[in-house]
Structures are given as C-alpha cells and as structure tokens.
Structure 1
C-alpha cells in the first residue's frame, strides 16, 4: 500500500511539473480517466414499418443491421453517456424510458445521457410521422436495447486517453433550399406560394441560388487505451442522409457504413472490447448530398452512393485521427434544461379546408401532397398549445457538444459554433426526442417543405432563437465552472 501511494504521489508530481505547477486540467490525486463503448442491435423484424417517406414502407429485407452505439466517459467524478441510434427519429418517451432503465443499472444520471438518432430513412419506425406508425413491440424493444447500449458501454469502462480534431469535407454537403428565378411558380399544399423550393431538381433552368450556407466541418473525438489501441470514435457531419436503398430493405445508411469503414481504416485488433465508431447528425435540416447547381449525376445502383459518401467522409476523419494529440485525463461536465415552445396550430378556416380535403380523398391512404398535409393538419389540431423539449450541453475538456431534439437548420449550428466559449463546439441534432424541423424565423418567412406545418414541422416561428439563447446560457454555465 505504501509503495502504491508513493507511486501515485510521484505520478502526480510529474503531472504538476509538466503543467507548470498545477495538476493536469484540474486533475485530483488518484483520478483516472476511463471510457467504455458498446453497440446494441436494434434491427426491426420483417413486416414492420420503415419511416422517412410520406407513404409508409414495409420491411421486406435487411441489407445491413442497425445499431445503438454508445460511449461512456468517466473523469473520476462525472460520467457522461452518448448514444447514437440508427433511426430516422425517436420520440422522447422511448428515450426517457431508456435513460431511466440505464440509470437504474449504471447510476449515471439521466440528464448526463445524450441520446440521438442518425436520421437514416431506411430504419424501423420509432414514432408516428406522415403515414408511418411504430409497432408497439418494436418501441418496447428499442427502449430496452438503447438502454442496453449504455449499460454494456459502462461495463466496458477501463483506463483511457482522449483527443479530438476537426476536419473539412465540403464535397458531400449542399444546401437543398433554392431561390428560383422571378415568376417561377412555387405552390405549397396549403393553397399559397413559397419563396424557395426544396430539392428543385439538378439542372433546373429556373434555379437562381441556394437559400443558405453549408457546414463542411467533421469534428472527430477519439478514445484509446493508454497503450494506443482504438476504443471508440465519435464524428459529426451536417448531412441529412444519403438514401438510395432497395425498396423495403433496412439500412443504417452512410452512418453505419462510416462506422464500418473507420473500423477497417484503424485495423483494430479484437483483444478486448470491440472498437466502436459512430457518426452523429449535425445541423442538416436544410442540407443534403445533391449538387443541384451542378451536372446531372450518372445513375447509381442501390447503396452505391451512400457507400461512396461514407468512404469520402471516413477518409477525412482518418486524416484528422492521425493528427490528434491525446490527453491522459480531462474533466467532464454537463448541463440540461427543459423549455416550453409554442405549437403552430391551424385556425378554423385552415382546419375546415383540411377536413374537406381528407373527406374527399378516395381511401384511407392519402396520395397527393394536399391530402397528406391536410391529414397532418387534422392531427396537429390535437396537439397541446405548448410542448416541452430537452436541451443539453456537454463539456469534454475544452470541447463542447450541444444537443437539440429537432432537424436543425445549418445556420443555427454555425451560429452556435461561432459564439460558443468552447472551441471546438458542435451540435448533435435529433437528440433526446423529436420535435420536427427547426428553421430560423427568416426561413419561416421563405416557406418551403421544411416549414410546412405537420408532425414533422410544428414548433413556433421563434423557436430557434429561444433554443440558441438557452444553449448559450448552458454553455456559459459550463464555462464558468470549467477548471
């Protein structure tokens, strides 16, 4: 015992000397940084719903398995859990239940768990959107399996070191909302005209200019054993999704392919817990992978495009990985709050129009845009006037991650990065619930698909400034207590 105590004191003294007379990043005697990672299979059964489209799709096959991927970090005082699941979106009810189950086993507080969906459009349905509804057995299964990912990652906790860097890959992200030439008709399902068009078509002669920017950054967090064996890698990219599957097949999209490619690139040796890579969705509410201002691309086979995107993004992440400087210990912290936001509900005239359209439809399945959005209008009328949402900010040393339960527009993410007191900072979208698209007030005035009122877009027009202000407050509190 005396020898162990002497060794600890000696190592602490070395840390003090190397850091100019103070413990490393606020490290206290005896503190060891630990990390654990794990995956949990969340592939749905054949015959259940796939969401991500305005028409429901039934699962007929599995191209690649979908997973919940978890990373648990422990600085000796505080534990944080980050989970990224291969789902289009996941409601707060499922995640709240998963957090409670994971907390009961791991003792990690639920408010220190950040759980998100990737936004693959070829996964099992977790919540009702457009004409897709979840299978009750699948939602129960998801709750258990997402919690299991945290529990298994926690079981794998072991001494580790951590580092990060930021790459850039502009070739795979394009703003999908376009201003069109004066006089171009841009009708919407509500009988009025928009000022921008989403996905206007490659080579459309009426194209004028993109209605917003892109974010080409790829933040990369890497965790290794003290000896340098890769344990986990968390990346973030503001790309909506890629798509291009065979009909009815389940796939994790480029997010899952990125994870597999990183595993190949890092040549991991399975002499301990398996290496886990995960790609989280950044602020991509108005971003996709199509260059509408460019030349028409050649036809591709199913899964070809998503694999190409995964390989390009993984190559840039690998470049970043090779330059990362690791720390044997960092301090961790987290802040969470809940705010209420208004719901854009239809007035009497809008509801009457929607009810008439639904009544005149030929069958229970809505086909036209007008029918589909009329049905959404009749459903939104039953929403409460205010909805609660969870907002989070995690601090990993000098790096910060914010979390928003929406399909967040890229302008919001760029603003958070610019004004955050932490560098780098990035945002994980579709986190801790699902509350539809989050356009800025300026984009609400332009209209377009992402603003059309539905269960996929219903928050008040001023939701984004209220969210960003709250996140700035959380980041400021993290900064004030940063050692």
Structure 2
C-alpha cells in the first residue's frame, strides 16, 4: 500500500516597515572610517515573510542593518511569540549587512554603543516585531516556487587576495599587485517566489553571497540589496526580501576602495542592484514551478569556541596598514582600536560564545541560518553535502558572532582574522558550525513534516 501523500494548505503573508534612523547617529561598517550620519540616500526597511502549511508557521525577516545580535533578536522573537503564538524557534531574523546603517552592536571598533544609538535599537526592535505581526495578519493562500541561477558576470570576488608583499588585500591595492585569490566565490542566486491564487506576487525571498559594502558615504543607504528589492517590488509587486549567503570573504568587484572612488561607487551600487534584480527576474520568469509545500523549522543553541586571547596580531596589522593610503593618524588610530578590542576581549575571560543555528525547510528548499559572517568555503561545503535539496545559506541569522574564517585564512592572516569583537572565534568554529548545521538538516529531513525526502 502506497504512503498517503500529504496535502498542504500553504498560506503566506508579507510586510515591510521603514526603519530609517534619525540623522546624527553613529554609523558602522568600516573599521578605518568613523561616520556620523548626515543624511540618507535611501530608506532602510525591515521586510518580513510568514509562511504557513496549516500546521506550522515560520517567519523569515530581513533588515537593512549591518547585523543584529542575539540580545535584539531574542526580544523580537519574544514579542512576536506573545502576540501571534508563533514559536521563537520558528522565527529567523537576519540582516542585509549594509555598511551604511547605524551602529547596532554593543561593542564595535573599540567603543560601546552610543546612547543615541541605544535609543534607536529599542525602537527598531519594536518595528521589526510589528512587521512580522503585520505579515501574519496578511496570510492568504499561496504557492511556492524555488529555483536558482548563476551570477557569472563579475559581480563578486573573493576579497582576500594575496599580494606580492605577502599581505592579504585590505582596500588600497592595484590589480598588478595581486598574486592570486585565496578562495572561491559562490555565484548561485537563490530565489523563493511566493504568489497568491491570483498568481500575483506576495514575496520574493532571494539569496546571494556578497558583502553589501559598495557604498561608504556618511549617509544611510541600503546598498545594492535595497536597489534590487525596490526594482523587484516595482516589477512583480509584493515584498522582496534579501538574505545574505556565506560571504565573510566575498565583496563586490566594484566596491569602495578609497576617497577617490566614492563617485564611481555611487554608479557601481546602482549597477549591482540592477544586475541582481535582472538576474532574479530571469530566474522567476524562466525556471519557477509553483506548488503547495509543507513547512518546518528547527533551531538549536550551540557553544562556539573562542580563540585564546594571548597575542594580538600586531605585526600583520602594521604590515597591512603600511600598504594602505591612510594618513599616519588613521593608521595609529586603527592599531589603537585593535589594542583596545583585544584588551576588552581578554578582560571578559570567556572560552565560548553561545549562539543559535537554524534550519527552515519548505518542500525541497532549505534555509540554513548561520549567526555570523561565514567564509564562502563553508557555505559551499554545506551546499555540496545537500545536493538533493535547494539549499541556501543565510548568514547573520539570529545573532552576530563576527567573522567565521577558515583554518587557511587564519594561517594567511589579514583583516578578517585580526582579533577583535568582529573576529573572535577559534579556527575550529567554522567546521563545528558546518557539522552541527548538517546534523540539524538531517534531523529536520528525518521528521518528514514537509513530505520531501531524497
């Protein structure tokens, strides 16, 4: 006797709310460039998607922010669960990683969050919660299409080039100085398109592995994901939600390099957003097959090892800074910042950081949520182990524990490995998170609640 096929009643709702901060807040994103917001070049938004199969509801929310620590996502999940009944373990909250948003981190670049920024964090927690609650109130019958394509025209590059002087590239370098790239890229553009019974778009959840750091003005800006989302919403309707793939070491080819490059980057960010939106549009129009799907979510707390705070990598920092076209004052300030951060981390006397892993499954689609800036090699490894599924990595999900570099990266040195609150995990952390993520995926597949198993 054949096994009875489950029939799902898929529903979806989406919403977005403006979260643009007041002018005058401290911005974050660049260790060597202090910025106070003097204006805005776009609005910042939080966008939320709620999916239901009549048994389970899950949430995916993405915000135009550099990151969100667990202290904030915990509050959001608590508010949403109290208001809607959706369990916190079914809520995935991530950041677009725009480098032109307000400082949200408690401690970053040698200083604690300013009081005016702290007031904003309280407001943004409420706004993100409201966007999710609003999406829950908009639930309507829907079908889901999951597919992907390849961005192969030079959008992104592995930012950790080995240069002729033996340093790993930071920002000031020429192509003639490059010996080789030290890692790959992930060209996959993942698209989950949800549309209603009338075939109108409810939401486009898309995923791409590239830092949102094309722009470095003293103005709020959602970077290329904001442009792509705006274009997709105008073309298809509904809400377009960006999630960042594993891109701890992936930047746009046309990224901010120096003060002279700022005018060029204004054009580059437009170009990047348009190219990504065009690619997603092609994928939707040529590849998607829509169906009702089962939905499930699993979340697990994990203890991630921190490195031993015995020595700051001063020699590597100084050698790299010697290569930069920064003033002597800025170089000295950067080094002092790293010394302050090292002292702060050492004083906390912690061996591990407790954080969250999450897997959301919809039909044959998997979203693997990682709580930091995962190097692309790890993302590709997870995908490689799950070839029978449409797997997308969502970094900066539910927490921010900083960069998660490979063992090779630690050996080569470079910015992403220098000890700071933005880079504090041990060289074992990446492999541990891959292993635990795959076990969580195996567990959710075994549950069989989405009725998809290969």
TM-score in same-fold range (> 0.5) = yes
User: Of residues 28, 31, 39 in structure 2, which corresponds to 1:51?
Assistant: 28
For the Cα contact (< 8 Å) 1:86–1:120, is it kept in 2? yes
Residue equivalent to 1:243: 214
With the length of structure 2 as denominator, give the TM-score of the two structures. Answer: 0.88
- Asked if 1:156 corresponds to 2:122, the answer is no
Alpha-carbon distance change, 419 to 185 in structure 1, aligned in 2, over 3 angstroms: closer
For the Cα contact (< 8 Å) 1:75–1:332, is it kept in 2? yes
For the Cα contact (< 8 Å) 1:178–1:211, is it kept in 2? yes
Residue equivalent to 2:322: none
Residue equivalent to 1:12: none
Q: Deviations over 1:35-89 (max 9, x none)?
A: 0000121111111111112243111112111011100000010111000100011
Q: Distance in 1 between matches of 2:172 and 2:377?
A: 20
Correspondences of 1:249-264 after superposition (within 5 Å): 249-264=219-234
Query: SS of the residue aligned with 1:114?
Result: strand
Q: Distance in 2 between matches of 1:478 and 1:65?
A: 37
Q: Deviations over 1:110-132 (max 9, x none)?
A: 01001001110001111131156
For the Cα contact (< 8 Å) 2:214–2:252, is it kept in 1? no
Correspondences of 1:53-452 after superposition (within 5 Å): 53-54=30-31, 55-127=33-105, 128-131=107-110, 133-134=113-114, 135-170=117-152, 171-181=154-164, 184-186=165-167, 196-199=168-171, 201-203=173-175, 205-245=176-216, 247-266=217-236, 268=237, 275-290=238-253, 300-301=263-264, 303-347=266-310, 367-383=332-348, 384-420=350-386, 422-452=388-418
Cα shift at 1:105: 0.7
| Structure 1: runs of 5 or more not aligned | 1-19, 187-195, 269-274, 354-363
Query: SS of the residue aligned with 1:233?
Result: strand
With the length of structure 1 as denominator, give the TM-score of the two structures. Answer: 0.83
Q: Distance in 2 between matches of 1:326 and 1:415?
A: 27
For the Cα contact (< 8 Å) 2:215–2:262, is it kept in 1? no
Cα shift at 1:278: 1.3
Q: Distance in 2 between matches of 1:472 and 1:343?
A: 21
Cα shift at 1:421: 5.9
Alpha-carbon distance change, 211 to 107 in structure 1, aligned in 2, over 3 angstroms: same
For the Cα contact (< 8 Å) 1:177–1:199, is it kept in 2? no
Cα shift at 1:440: 1.3
For the Cα contact (< 8 Å) 1:160–1:224, is it kept in 2? yes
User: How many equivalent residue pairs?
Assistant: 425
Q: Distance in 1 between matches of 2:352 and 2:158?
A: 30
Cα shift at 1:199: 4.2
Q: Distance in 1 between matches of 2:221 and 2:215?
A: 10
Alpha-carbon distance change, 94 to 394 in structure 1, aligned in 2, over 3 angstroms: same
Query: SS of the residue aligned with 1:381?
Result: helix
- Write out the 4+ residue segments of structure 1 that deviate beyond 4 Å after TM superposition: 20-24, 349-353, 364-367
Q: Distance in 2 between matches of 1:435 and 1:92?
A: 9
Cα shift at 1:454: 0.3
Query: SS of the residue aligned with 2:22?
Result: coil
Q: Distance in 1 between matches of 2:262 and 2:101?
A: 24
